């Protein structure tokens, strides 16, 4: 609206100046230089004002065009980051599953009352998460709004914590820490699943991250395991629903 007003005003000013000059010319063929000289400052000011208004209009038009192009670029980046985020979440989900399998093997071998039935995991079984996932998450965090970015940052932090712990061979020997590792892996699985609808474009916001007892217990049940101490820990720590 402001652009239209400036454009109209500049047109009126220029029209007034031109009309005045034409009137002077028509009324006096010899062109009264005295009158022109008397009003030349006013005429020059009006022309300068009209030029300034046109310049401002052009600048605003350029700014609007640049903003439009920037918004289009950001939308393309967001769509691309979402497409890559789906792949990253699938990789993270597999990583969380592998971490759970690995920590369960460690727990069963070291702390299960029937541990003689189990074989220890080897270094070849240690889950590895590629650097590409971190790069995709970083790009996604830069593209999304602040609330979604905060949730992705929390996901990234939890991945780094689990990755650091899972590679500590001494720490995992502790029964208490083994239980914590199992819970961390199951939590990462739930947290990752929570982001898929956003990545696929079904929702504009990542859902609230909330862990329940049933979320974690179901994962153990899928493994056909009932580890009483793990079940007891999560039942005390998390709400049932």
Q: How many CA atoms lie within 13 A of 95 on its CB side?
A: 23
Q: Would you say the pTM of this structure is higher than 0.75?
A: no
Tokens describing residue 185: 């892996």
Residue 35 — pLDDT band, cuts 50, 70, 90?
low
- Between 24 and 190, name the one with better pLDDT: 190
pLDDT number for residue 155:
93
Average pLDDT, the chain: 79
Q: How far is CA 116 from the centre of its chain?
A: 48
Distances (CA, A) of 54 to 15, 18, 68, 181: 14, 17, 21, 67
- Examine the pLDDT at 124 and tell me if it is beyond 70: no
Residue 159 — pLDDT band, cuts 50, 70, 90?
very high
- Residue 47 CB contacts under 8 Å (≥ 6 apart), including other chains: 13, 14, 17
- Examine the pLDDT at 202 and tell me if it is beyond 80: yes
Q: Would you call 174 exposed, middle or buried from its count of C-beta atoms within 10 A (0-12, 13-18, 19+)?
A: middle
- Examine the pLDDT at 86 and tell me if it is beyond 90: yes
């Amino acid at each position: 609206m402001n652009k239209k007003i400036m454009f109209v005003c500049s047109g009126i000013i220029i029209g007034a100046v031109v009309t005045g000059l034409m009137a002077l010319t028509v009324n006096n063929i010899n062109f009264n230089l005295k009158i022109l000289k008397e009003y030349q400052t006013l005429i020059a000011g009006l022309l300068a004002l009209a030029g300034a208004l046109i310049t401002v209009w052009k600048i605003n038009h350029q700014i609007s065009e640049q903003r439009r192009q920037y918004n289009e670029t950001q939308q393309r980046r967001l769509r691309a980051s979402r497409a890559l985020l789906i792949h990253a979440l699938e990789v993270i989900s597999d990583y969380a599953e592998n971490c759970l399998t690995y920590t369960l093997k460690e727990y069963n071998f070291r702390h299960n009352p029937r541990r003689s039935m189990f074989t220890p995991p080897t270094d070849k079984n240690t889950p590895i998460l590629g650097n590409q996932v971190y790069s995709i998450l970083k790009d996604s965090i830069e593209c999304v709004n602040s609330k979604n970015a905060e949730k992705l940052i929390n996901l990234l932090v939890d991945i780094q914590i689990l990755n650091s712990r899972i590679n500590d061979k001494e720490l995992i020997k502790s029964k208490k820490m083994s239980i914590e590792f199992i819970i961390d892996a199951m939590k990462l699985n739930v947290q990752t699943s929570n982001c898929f609808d956003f990545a696929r474009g079904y929702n504009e916001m990542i859902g609230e991250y909330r862990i329940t007892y049933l979320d974690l217990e179901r994962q153990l049940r899928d493994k056909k395991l009932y580890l009483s101490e793990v079940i007891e820990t999560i039942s005390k720590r998390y709400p049932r629903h």
